[in-house]
Amino acid sequence: MHELALLLGLMQPQVAAASSPDVLWQIGDPAVTANTGQCGAATYPTATSADFILVKNAGCMRNQLNPVGNGGSGVFLLNSGQTYTWNFQTVTRMGVDVGKFTQRLVWQIHDYACGLSPVTVLGIQNLSGGASGQAWYLESGSGTKTVPYVEGATDTWKITALISSTSTGRIQAWHNGVKFADGSGRTFACGAKPWFNFGPYMWDWTNRTAASSLTKVGIRFNYMHLTGIERAAGTTRKD
């Protein structure tokens, strides 16, 4: 029985702690909390994890971290025309919202200082309403892909994006080791360079006529790290 349990454990997708010199950003590197609508701050249960709790209050809609780097002031800028990869695990306490199409965003590539909503996001939504309609969704210029959501589960993610505001962009994604998205299309909409952040963003609390019924959500990110090319910062690192 012990040998079988060990074998099954080895078969699960793994995300190793990031230690390569090719890593451009990882939990523990410079980061600041988001600004508008920010309530609370991440805590760090371990050196490789960030935990977020968000409780609904007036004006509250997010508890996010903005990684800082690549010449950005308070953000991590992503170079247009270059490919980046995010590897991480999520442990969810995001709740089950029975309202149809209610959304909870947890990771995004965001346009910089041009006022548009993000093109590329990972989140949770209810496709049909009711207790069984909830799913993870990845949205980008190539469309929206979904995978099953299980409250309290540990999910392993790999997301690779070619950064572009035109159809030359590309998004690829793996969930628990299984590829579920691969398509061409823009990954941001405007400005010279986008940026990224992560953590719960409950925009349904303030931006929907029929707001989410949830009042408290939580999520932990393990081993979040970014690899890619950072030519704009004077380096030639690659993944």
pLDDT tier for residue 229 given thresholds of 50, 70 and 90:
low
Measured CA to CA, the distance from residue 149 to residue 135 in angstroms comes to 5
Residue 183's pLDDT is: 97
Q: Using CA atoms, how far apart are residues 207 and 223, in angstroms rounded to an integer?
A: 31
What per-residue confidence (pLDDT) applies to 65?
95
State how far the alpha carbon of 134 is from the alpha carbons of 104, 165, 187, 219, in Å.
11, 30, 24, 16
Determine the average pLDDT of the residues in 221-232. 82
Highest-scoring range by mean pLDDT, 19-33, 84-98, 110-124: 84-98
Specify the higher pLDDT residue, 4 or 105. Answer: 105
C-alpha distances (whole Å) from 116 to each of 109, 113, 119, 172, 194 are 12, 8, 9, 23, 11
Q: How far does Cα 160 stand from its chain's mean position?
A: 12
Q: How high is the pLDDT of residue 234?
A: 38
* Measured distance CA(193)–CA(81) in Å, rounded: 10
**Coil vs helix vs strand at 36:** coil
Give me 71's structure tokens.
């010449």
Domains in the chain, ordered, with CATH? Answer: 38-226 (2.60.120.200)
What does the pLDDT look like over 161-217, one tens digit per residue? 999 999 999 999 999 999 999 999 999 999 889 999 999 999 878 766 556 788 999
pLDDT digits (tens, 9 = 90+) for 103-144: 889 999 999 888 778 999 999 998 888 888 899 999 999 999
Close Cβ partners of 235 (under 8 Å, ≥ 6 residues apart): none
pTM of the predicted protein model: 0.87
Which secondary-structure segment (H or E) carries 226? strand 216-227
Distance, CA of 194 to CA of 64 (rounded, Å): 16
Element (H, E) at 148: strand 143-148
Q: What's the pLDDT score for residue 113?
A: 82
Query: Per-residue pLDDT tens for 46-79?
Result: 999 999 999 988 788 899 999 999 988 899 999 9
- On the 0-12 / 13-18 / 19+ scale of CB atoms within 10 A, 168 is middle
CA dist., res. 117 & res. 39, Å (int): 20
**Pure H helices in 99-229:** 204-207
Express each pLDDT in 6-18 by its tens digit.
333 333 445 555 5
- Strands 120-126, 134-140: pairing kind: antiparallel
More confident of the two residues 142 and 237: 142
| Cα angle for residues 104, 82, 88 (degrees, 5° grid) | 40
Distance CA 27, CA 226 (A): 10
Q: What is the DSSP letter of 141?
A: T
Look at the block and give the residue holding tokens 């210029």.
141
pLDDT at 58: 79
